[in-house]
Amino acid sequence: MLKDFFIALSQNQFLNSSAKKYGLKLGAQSVVAGTNIPEVMKSIKELNSHGISCTVDNLGEFVFKKEEATAAKENILKVIEAINENKVDAHISLKPTQLGLDIDFDFALSNVKEVVDKASRYDMFVNIDMEDSSHLETTLNLLDKLSAEYDNVGTVLQSYFRNTQEYLEKYRNLRIRLVKGAYKEPEEIAYLDKKDIDENYIKLTEWHLLNGKFTSIATHDHRIINHIKEFVKKNDISKDKFEFQMLYGFRRELQLQLASEGYNFCTYVPFGNDWYGYFMRRLAERPQNLKIVGKQVFNKKTNTMIGMAAGAFLLGRASKKKKRK
């Protein structure tokens, strides 16, 4: 129920707009690396000073107008220029829906291609983030068209889907980020139990480490991290074949520790005012994250917003139960 609650919050456009209005006044600076490009560059430089690379996400939700998608694309192009000009160790992560996937496939492809093309001129990688199951096939169609022309593009695969192994094998020659998954999905296509998701995550990660091009192991779970450390040692897998990855603002001490141990480490760095949906999905993915940053993020205004959403969420569940009766 807790996961359903945070997913419902992430999809609430009223709360998303309210959070955007207040910006980082709500305390989101602990999980969002600034609202503009100069601020995010400063955050990246600080992480780089500890031997940590970054993947940068210009946050955006609910994009259904071409002008909004075009504006998002232009901002990402400016981020690429800033990364190059500042000579920082960073690359791009983007969501296809932010660039128009819910509007028109060819329009989105053109936007993403422009980003990938510009990044390729600077030998910069672009990671195509994965969203919910309704966007899975169209996102992979984008990836197929882009990877046929460019070699600086990869994607994310989610371990809660039952058929992820098949996609992992198909894209074994691409750089892949493995995550557990943060959207509400039906049991027919996704594992719902945490134990099953974790087991599949480890299985997929081990397979890709042995057979894939490069693996980004995106998890905050120290037990999984320790397991992978033993696995790569036992199988004599080079550290150049993988990296550990975590979100900005989460488990910073562990991030620094892994980097100091000589592992490639990459921090997922989101920036912008449109942080609300992103953060709620992080809580849905792993409710323990609430303990990590809760005191920093949830002040009085935030609690009021979430209280309103909680009431709407519970009323919605009650209404559904009545209808079933």
- The alpha carbons of the chain give a radius of gyration, in whole angstroms, of 19
- Residue 113: how many other CB atoms lie within 10 Å: 17
Q: Which two tokens stand for residue 101?
A: 């996937």
Say whether 214 sits in a helix, a strand or coil: strand
Query: 250-263 in b/e burial notation, b at 16+ Cβ within 10 A?
Result: bbbeebeebbeeeb
C-alpha closest to that of 268 among 40, 69, 100: 40
d(CA 87, CA 287): 36
The token pair that represents 245 in the structure block: 């990855």
Pairing of strands 153-158, 126-128: parallel
* Residue 265, phi then psi, degrees to nearest 5: -135, 135
Q: What are the residue ranges of helices labelled H in the chain? A: 2-10, 13-22, 37-48, 66-86, 105-121, 136-147, 164-170, 194-211, 222-234, 252-260, 276-285, 289-297, 300-324
* Cα–Cα distance measured from residue 224 to residue 159, given in angstroms and rounded to the nearest whole number: 13
| CA 177/CA 128 separation, integer angstroms | 10
Of 102, 129, 198, 274, the active-site residue reads 129
Q: What's the N-to-C CA distance of the chain in angstroms? A: 20
Active site includes 223?
Answer: no
Is 129 catalytic? The answer is yes
Separation between Cα atoms, residue 123 and residue 137, nearest integer Å: 27
Catalytic residue among 177, 281, 282, 286: 177
Distance CA 242, CA 209 (A): 7
Q: Give me the active site residues, please.
A: 129, 177
